[in-house]
Structure 1
Amino acid sequence: MEKFKSYKDLNVYQKAFEAAMRIFELSKFFPKEETYSLTDQIRRSSRSVCANVAEGFRRRKYIQSFCNCISISEGEASETQNWLDFAFRCGYISEEVYEELMNEYEHIIGMLVNMQKYSDKWKI
């Protein structure tokens, strides 16, 4: 397996970070009444995907801890998909944007599942 110096080198981190930034930009246009509900929740869950990958990367010497962080990241990605469902159904994002982001998060989730499945390859 390729040796990584930083969590920032991980493709899954880069994809999750870009998706979170896209969500941030889109959510700037959500209605004011969503500030402390949908806007806050979708921003937090999308950012948490990245944060937990970063944390897990530093916990690689303890495989259970690593897998726990990656599992949390997977859950946060799924939560982000849930908030995207609401954003779409409420008319805050277009169907095209919704489909693109849902597909991106499916890809991210797949990468996270594989990290857990082959966790022995991540041990340092």
Structure 2
Amino acid sequence: MNVLGPSLAPYIRSSRTLKKYVTPIAHWYADLMGYRKMGLKYDDLQVEESPQVQRALGRLTPRETYDRSFRFKIASDCDLHHKPLPKEQWSKPEDDKRYLQPHILNVLKEEEERFTWDTMTVQRK
């Protein structure tokens, strides 16, 4: 039921040595993906067909929703012209914060809690 799937990130972050070697590779891979060249953020790449992501998108502030839509519009225009944005308009790594993930995690926690309460059995003494 976990939309995000298993992650090695907490283990890598806890090890100073692993973090030192993996961080440059992660930055290189993020640049290679090319979504920043179109002005997108990492959370813009989430699969929207998931019901959990749909509920999380409904929890965004109006400003976050507008910014997301604007990024998609710019990315569509780049795709139409087969050109990335000029380098000064690329999304910067320091601006690429996870704005949707906390909402998705809250939705997953709520679903887990709801499942726990729905399957609870009452026993009389």
TM-score relative to the length of structure 2 = 0.28
TM-score relative to the length of structure 1 = 0.29
Give the helix-richer structure, 1 or 2.
1
